[in-house]
Every structure is written in structure tokens, then in C-alpha cells.
Amino acid sequence: MTKLFENYKRADIEFVKAEGNYLFDSQGKQYLDFSSGIGVTNLGFHPQVKAALEKQVVEIWHTPNLYQNSLQEEVASRLIGDGNYRAFFCNSGAEANEAAIKLARKATGKQEIITFQNSFHGRTFGSMSATGQDKIKTGFGEGVPHFSYADYNDLDSVKDLVTTDTAAVMLELVQGESGVLPADSDFVTDLADFCQAQGILLIVDEVQTGMGRTGKLYSFQHYGITPDIFTLAKGLANGVPVGAMLGLEKWAYAFDYGSHGSTFGGNKLAMAASSAVLDVMLADGFLAEAGQKGDYLQAQLQQALENKSTVTQIRGLGMMIGIETNENLADIVEAARGAGLIVLTAGKNVIRLLPPLTLTKDEIDQGVTILAQVFN
């Protein structure tokens, strides 16, 4: 009998080793990973990240935020680049979104935040309340007040919810958990213009879409907008728990001394891993190549699955892809795993692919071949 809460439906398999973009189970079977641990190991099991962790753990792996941390300063500077942001480090995407909610409310002096139907922002009470899915909230009682939910890709539905107490609009530019649904370009541009005109902060949740997942460091770079606040986690440290909230410099006054904190946030080990990730991702040509691989993967999937009656649509952005199907999702996941490929699900009818950005074309072709067999 398990000694764990049974809030996860775990497959009867344990991964005990990894090399590059492959996982190995306790029986020695090899699997090509098209999940990146739910969009986390965006670089696969990369030797540079491993080396950085080994070096740091020998020196010192944790200091609290009572002291200077030059690694935090370095990582923040590289995440910000030419932008005019400041960073706050925490431990997860949910915590990053909590920080974003707190900053927006304190900076504006307002309480209401508009999010979107079918969104997902985390499982803490604040981020759960921001999430536009009832199934995430069932059984937990009253949520945090002052959240409302517009229709995705519908600016009029946002305008209908705006009041004099609206602090921010919060969105994912690709809704991942509900089915890999990209935002329309015109909607995003118009929403950003509307928020700026109304003095409403725009928060972009980049927890799943950030760190190269869509072919750029951040997905908002595809849309040509500048959010007031954006959040990161998952791929930021390639598997070491970390989150980040970045807010425009002009809102920094709202997070003054003692206003927010995190015991583990941005510790030395997490920052060493994040720095190594950025070494790889910010190297010349890496992100452009990742975007090209995403285009190649989508094109190969379209070609391989176009005549499959069980596939109704393939969509996505970069290396974030959804295959909409009328087949049983659990059966597809199990069949793919049996053939040596790890995939995910999203929503009610989507197979979600979040492969490492470091896939080779041969590995892409291998994965597509398995998926074509599975959908047969």
C-alpha cells in the first residue's frame, strides 16, 4: 500500500536514468522524451546544466535572501536583456503567478483581475482562483475573490468585465493545459493597446510558453507586445525548482522591503542551473534553430497524420504542439509509451507534445514515425 496521497494517476513505470533526450526505466527500456517532464527539461538532460549543478553543489547550494546573491543578479540581467524590468525569484510557476497578482494589486491599489476561460495559472489558492477551469477548483470551497473570466480571443468580453477597480488582465499566449490553443495575433495586440489606454496592467503567464518553448525566449516576442509583468518557471532551470516574476521598473516601488519573500527562492543551486540554461539558449542561433525545429516537427506531423481519420487538427507554436483527436487519450499515451515515446495530454481531446528544444531531426523523425503508427 502506498504511503503517498493518491492525487496523481501514476503509470506503472519509473525512470531511473537519462541521457540527452532519452529516458531509461528501471527495466532498462529506452524512451524518446516528447514531454520534457511537462515542459521542464527544455534542453533535455544537458551536460552543461549537469556540470553547473555539480560545480555549485560542491561549493554552496543555498543561502537565504538575507544576503547578497550575485547569481541572482546575473540571471536577472540576462532574463531582462534590453528590457526595463526587475526580477523576483521563487520556487514554482504558481508562486510566480502569486507574486504577479500581488504586485499588480499593490502597484495599482485595485483588486480585480480578469483572466480567461480554460486558463491555467497554478494550484495555490490565488493562482487556482485565477484559473478559468472549474475542475481545478472543485471541492476546495470559496476561492480568492475579485477574479473574473473573459472568453479567450474575444476583446469585447474583456471590456464587459472591466470596472473602475480592475488592476490587471492576465493571460497565457498559448493555453497549454486546456488543449494547446494559441492566442490570435490581432486579439493580443488590441488587448495590449486597450490595457495601456485604460491604465490596466497586462500580465503574461510564460510558465509553460517561456524559455524557448515557442521558438523565442518568451512567447510575447512573437506578438510584439511589452507586458507590465510576466512569469517564468518550468524550463528556467531545466528541472531544478525555480520560478520568476518580472515586472516593469516603474512598478518596482510596490515590492518594497518586507512586502513579499521566499525562503528557497533563487537559491544558489537553482541560479547555477538557470545560468547554465541561459548559456545554451542565448548562444548565437540556438533559439532560431529551435523555432525551425518546431516548424519542421509540425510539418512532419501534418504530413504523417493528414489522412488519419482519428486526427482532427494539429496546432501550436514552436515546440508546443497539440494533436486534436477523437481517440481515447489514455490509449494513445499508453501505445506511444509501449513503442518507446513519451507524450502528454491536454484538455479533453488533445495529445500534447513538449519535446526538448535540443531534438535532432533524426529524433523528430523517429517520434513522428511512432505517432503515425500509434494513430493507425
Instruction: Report how far apart the first and last C-alpha atoms of the chain are (Å, whole number).
Output: 37
With vertex at residue 39, the alpha carbon angle to CA 37 and CA 40, rounded to the nearest 5 degrees, is 65
Angle between helices 286-305 and 268-281 (to 10 degrees): 70
pLDDT band (50, 70, 90) for residue 362: very high
Would you state the pLDDT for residue 322?
98
pLDDT higher than 90, residue 78: yes
Same domain, 84 and 143: yes
Task: Kindly report the CATH number assigned to the domain that includes residue 171.
Answer: 3.40.640.10
Among candidates 119, 117, 108, which has minimal Cα distance to 158? 117
Q: Are residues 294 and 196 in the same domain?
A: no
The answer to whether 79 and 237 have CB atoms below 8 angstroms apart is no
Sequence-ordered list of residues with C-beta below 8 angstroms from that of 158, at least 6 positions apart, any chain:
114, 150, 169, 191, 194
Q: Do 276 and 358 share a structural domain?
A: no
In this prediction, residue 337 carries a pLDDT of 98
pLDDT band at 236 (very low <50, low <70, confident <90, very high): very high
Is residue 204's pLDDT more than 90?
A: yes
- The predicted model gives 143-169 an average pLDDT of 98
Count the Cβ atoms, other than its own, within 10 Å of residue 62.
10
Which tens digits make up the pLDDT trace of 289-311? Answer: 999 999 999 999 999 999 999 99
Does one domain contain both 198 and 95?
yes
Q: Has residue 1 got a pLDDT over 90?
A: no
Alpha-carbon span 247 to 96, nearest angstrom: 11
Count of other CB atoms within 10 angstroms of residue 205: 31
Which cell numbers in the block locate residue 44? 533535455
Which residue range(s) make up the domain with 178? 48-281
193: pLDDT strictly greater than 90? yes
Asked if residue 3 belongs to a domain, the reply is no
Which pLDDT does position 300 carry in this prediction?
98
pTM, whole model, 2 decimals?
A: 0.97
Q: Please say whether the beta carbons of 289 and 296 come within 8 A.
A: no
Q: Looking at residue 252, what is its pLDDT?
A: 97
pLDDT at 73: 98
> What's residue 189's pLDDT?
98
23, part of any domain = yes
Which triple of cell numbers denotes residue 54? Answer: 555539480
SS3 149: strand
The pLDDT of residue 181 is 98
The string of pLDDT tens digits covering residues 10-42 is: 999 999 999 999 999 999 999 999 999 999 999
Determine the pLDDT at residue 76.
Answer: 98
Please tell me what DSSP assigns to residue 183: P
Question: Dihedral (C-alpha) 75, 77, 81, 87: value to the nearest 10 degrees?
Answer: 80
Tell me what pLDDT residue 376 has. 84
Domain shared by 94 and 240, yes or no: yes
Joined grid coordinates for residue 337: 509509451
Average pLDDT across the chain, whole number: 97
Domain co-membership, 131 together with 20: no
Q: Per the structure, how many domains does the chain have?
A: 2
On whether both 240 and 333 belong to a single domain, the answer is no
pLDDT at 98: 98
Domain assignment present for residue 268? The answer is: yes
For Cα atoms 91, 96, 102, give the angle at the middle one, nearest 5 degrees.
130
C-beta separation of 234 from 219 below 8 A: no
Q: With beta carbons less than 8 A apart as the criterion, state whether 278 and 78 touch.
A: yes
- DSSP readout, 19-44? EBTEEEETT--EEEESSHHHHT-TT-
For residue 82, pLDDT over 90 is answered with yes
Same domain, 220 and 361: no
Cα distances from 352 to residues 35, 73, 141, 364, in angstroms, run 8, 35, 30, 15
Please indicate, yes or no, whether residues 162 and 277 belong to a single structural domain of this protein.
Answer: yes
